[in-house]
Amino acid sequence: MRTTAYRIAVSRWRRATKGRRPPDRAVGRPTVSPAVDESHVALVEALRQLPEAQRRALVLHHIADLSVHAVAAEVGVPEGTIKARLSRGRTALAVLLADPDDRPRGGLQEGASHA
């Protein structure tokens, strides 16, 4: 069931991004997607820059509201691995979502992109 919820969320996100593309005249009328707030767009862009394992752990834990134990069971890795992915992912997101003037030079920290 959690995998289905995850896939539905991904499908909705893909549908929303597809709606922003120029329409293909052969297909028909363009679809109109609802207005998206700026912080949502920034979060999606930041999540795209993370490794898939970190991104999945963050989405399942913070957006799907699963416990660390449940995320570990869903992904099939030890709880310690999920805790590490969450920690590194949150650190990386903090850097990516910081104001450009406040970001440290050199981008992400070395350990922030591994998991």
Q: What's the whole-number average pLDDT of the chain?
A: 79
Contact 78, 72 (CB under 8 A): yes
Helices (H) and strands (E) counted in the chain, each on its own, are 5, 0
Residue in this structure with the two tokens 């134990």, named with its chain if needed: 69
CA dihedral 107, 109, 114, 115 (to 10 degrees): -120
Which of 59-63, 68-72, 94-98, 108-112 shows the lowest per-residue confidence on average (mean pLDDT)?
108-112
List pLDDT tens digits, range 13-54: 777 776 666 655 555 555 566 666 777 788 888 899 999 999
Which one has a higher pLDDT value, 56 or 6? 56
DSSP track, 32-51: -PPP--HHHHHHHHHHHTS-
Q: What number of CA atoms fall less than 13 Å from residue 89's CA on the CB side?
A: 24
Distance of alpha carbon 64 from alpha carbon 14, whole angstroms = 18
Q: Is the pLDDT of residue 114 over 80?
A: no
CATH 2.30.110.10: does it fit domain 38-102+111-115?
Answer: no
Q: Look up residue 110 and give its DSSP letter.
A: G
Q: For the chain, what are the domain ranges?
A: 38-102+111-115
Which one has a higher pLDDT value, 98 or 85? 85
Q: Model-level pTM? A: 0.58
